[in-house]
Amino acid sequence: PSKESGLTRNTRATFKSVMSILYGINAVAEAIQASPERIERICVERGYKNPRIREIVASARDKHLRLSFEDRSWLDRKAEGARHQGVLCFAAEMPMFDSEDIVEQAKFPGLLVVLDGIEDPHNLGAILRSAEAVGADGVLVPRHRSAALSATVVKSSAGAALHAKLARITNLSQFIESVKKKGFWVVGLDADSDKPIWDIDLTVPAVLVLGGEGSGLHRLVREKCDYVVS
């Protein structure tokens, strides 16, 4: 990666060429601060009066980002009816990291979050926001049975999706086996478990596995967990 990308030389990340539309004041402001090199264009409602949008415009100009001023109806169409608050931007898809790099670069003791079938983009965004807040070293999502990493996810995460280290994994069971060999304890989350999460030691290298909204943890994944807690 180039120095401008903000990524270390030891971390491999690939940027998809497909553009995402990020909408809303928080999401666009975070994108400008976290990943200005990925922004293609920022679009602002003509005649804006919101002082926070004024800050976005000033920041975009300071970073020499492309700006355009559009009619409200144009922004409505691009946001497909979502609440854009008078601003949106076109940006390259968020970077995806290599799962092995995330594991190797985890700060001691290490905390990873693995998602086993989260399909609602709002839930995915909320999880990314929480993972970023507690300092998780990375969030790993399966290539299948997972919500797309979309503008809705970024907005629901209040911009945290642009800071979190994300990786796609092909085989969840194999990934769990590999991190176990590296000293991580794997903890599955299940609301029906009799053991509360407070009864286990999470000061060790740990992987938290969250199941899907409907079916929860898949059987094979659940069987590979060292603990299943509520």
How do residues 119-168 score in pLDDT, each as one tens digit? 898 999 999 999 999 999 999 998 777 887 777 787 788 878 778 888 88
Residue type, 150: S
Whether 2 has a pLDDT exceeding 50, the answer reads no
Q: What are the angstrom distances between the C-alpha of 74 and each of 6, 39, 50, 81, 118?
A: 33, 19, 18, 11, 32
Three-state DSSP class for 223? helix
Question: What integer is the mean pLDDT of 83-108?
Answer: 89
Helices (H), 96-214: 99-104, 121-133, 151-156, 172-181
Tens digits of residue pLDDT in 34-85: 888 778 899 999 999 999 999 999 999 999 999 999 999 999 999 988 899 9
Q: What is the pLDDT of residue 16?
A: 39
Could you give the CA distance from residue 216 to residue 174 in angstroms, rounded to a whole number? 19
pTM surpassing 0.85?
no
**How far, rounded to the nearest angstrom, does the alpha carbon of residue 117 sit from its chain's CA centroid?**
15
